[in-house]
Amino acid sequence: MAEEKHYDVVVIGAGPGGLTTAMYASRANLSVVMLDRGIYGGNLNNTATIENYTGFKSVKGPDLAKDMYEGATQFGAEYAYGTVTKVEDQGATKKITTDMGDTYIAKAVVIATGSGQRHLDVPGEDEFAGRGVSYCAVCDGAFFKGLNLAVVGGGDSAVEEGLYLTQLAKKVTVLVRGDHLRAQPMLQDEAAQNDKLEFVYNTSVTEITGDDVKVRGVKTHNNQTGEDGEMPVDGIFIYVGSYPMTAPFANLGILDDQGWVKTDNEMKTSIPGIFAIGDVRETPLRQIATAVGDGAIAGQQVYKYISSLN
């Protein structure tokens, strides 16, 4: 049955940022709940191997998520399932509503909903989702052992996940719409040394094709020569950037014109008691390390804010 629950702090999203805020705030003796529509860890669960998080030479995303969760909850922070549909500013309290019908009343809210993966929006993408179209190499890569794959994109995600897929697939072709990669140089160097990874530049995917069973290929367009082509593949992994998960906050007037949350460097939005951290905010760098840093600042600022109410 729907209930009204009271906490000092509601953290919306239990990725690396949200987990860190929950740890700091609960260590400061505040009552904290993290609300998430999925398992804790956020995008960590879609990341095979992390090599740029301080303290670890290499760590698997889901393993790091579990450790962070245990760290966050050891001081009493709770986790609850639910998709937040609305946040209302009531002055000294905030009202948070979920699709489960639950209502949370909190003194402070920390938005840590992160970003979602953009879609290509081409014919066949929705039709073959789960039948060869994927957005998560860690989740689905094992279905493509010994097969030929395409990856779309030219950023860190496309190259990193393309590299991961070479451990399973026969060959991975990365289709890059421009004439160069945007990924960090270290990843590009690693990719250049991998015989199973090939880059095809100036190439957009215009359609994903298949039969009743699964994906069989992609139709392509060369952005330089104007030529159209076709490439047989057994699966396609799409990594073409991200969008902010901010729909439930659209009414608050705290978003920029692209939908990211605007904050100051203490993670405060323009509404007292509403903070935002990590990938969801307007920020020059979206990394685990930056989300964790934001989360620590917000944990401290939330404590100061709530103390000032008393």
Please identify every residue annotated as catalytic: 136, 139-140
Residues 6+ apart with CB under 8 A from 301: 266, 267, 268, 275
What is the rounded distance in angstroms from the CA atom of residue 86 to the CA atom of residue 97?
5
Task: Give the phi and the psi of residue 258 in degrees, each rounded to 5.
Answer: -105, 0
**Percent of residues in the chain assigned helix, strand, coil, to nearest 5:** 30, 30, 40
Q: Looking only at residues 80 through 109 of this chain, which bind ligand NAP when binding is defined by CB under 6 A?
A: none
Contact in structure between 74 and 50 (CB atoms under 8 Å):
no
Among the candidate windows 60-68, 72-80, 175-183, 302-310, which touches ligand NAP by CB under 6 A? 175-183
Q: How far lies 258's CA from each of 88, 157, 243, in Å? A: 21, 21, 8
* Residue from 182, 214, 216, 262 in contact with ligand NAP (CB under 6 A): 182
Least separation in angstroms between residue 219's CB and ligand NAP is 13
Contact in structure between 203 and 117 (CB atoms under 8 Å):
no
What is the rounded distance in angstroms from the CA atom of residue 17 to the CA atom of residue 278?
6
Residue with smaller CB distance to ligand NAP, 130 or 185: 185
Residue with smaller CB distance to ligand NAP, 58 or 90: 58
Binding to ligand NAP by CB under 6 A, coded x per residue (else -) over 203-242, reads: -x----------------------------------xxxx
* Residue from 89, 160, 234, 294 in contact with ligand NAP (CB under 6 A): 160
Least separation in angstroms between residue 204's CB and ligand NAP is 6
Residue with smaller CB distance to ligand NAP, 33 or 158: 158
Q: DSSP string covering 189-220, please? A: HHHHT-TTEEEE-SEEEEEEEE-SSSEEEEEE
What is the rounded distance in angstroms from the CA atom of residue 128 to the CA atom of residue 291?
33
Least separation in angstroms between residue 112's CB and ligand NAP is 15
Among the candidate windows 3-11, 148-156, 225-233, 252-260, which touches ligand NAP by CB under 6 A? 148-156
What is the rounded distance in angstroms from the CA atom of residue 177 to the CA atom of residue 200?
8
* Residue from 60, 286, 296, 300 in contact with ligand NAP (CB under 6 A): 286
What is the rounded distance in angstroms from the CA atom of residue 307 to the CA atom of residue 309?
5
* Residue from 20, 113, 157, 290 in contact with ligand NAP (CB under 6 A): 157
Residue with smaller CB distance to ligand NAP, 97 or 173: 173
* Residue from 153, 210, 217, 293 in contact with ligand NAP (CB under 6 A): 153
Helices and strands of the chain, counted as H and E runs: 6, 19
Residue with smaller CB distance to ligand NAP, 16 or 82: 16
What is the rounded distance in angstroms from the CA atom of residue 8 to the CA atom of residue 31?
5
- Please provide the size of the chain in residues: 310
Among the candidate windows 20-28, 86-94, 154-162, 244-252, which touches ligand NAP by CB under 6 A? 154-162
Interaction between residue 178 and ligand NAP (CB under 6 A): yes
- Residues 228-232: contacts with CB within 8 Å, 24+ apart? 231/150, 231/173, 232/148
Among the candidate windows 58-66, 102-110, 127-135, 151-159, which touches ligand NAP by CB under 6 A? 151-159
Query: Which residues of this chain interact with ligand NAP, rule CB under 6 A?
Result: 52, 120, 152-158, 160, 177-178, 182, 204, 239-242, 286-287
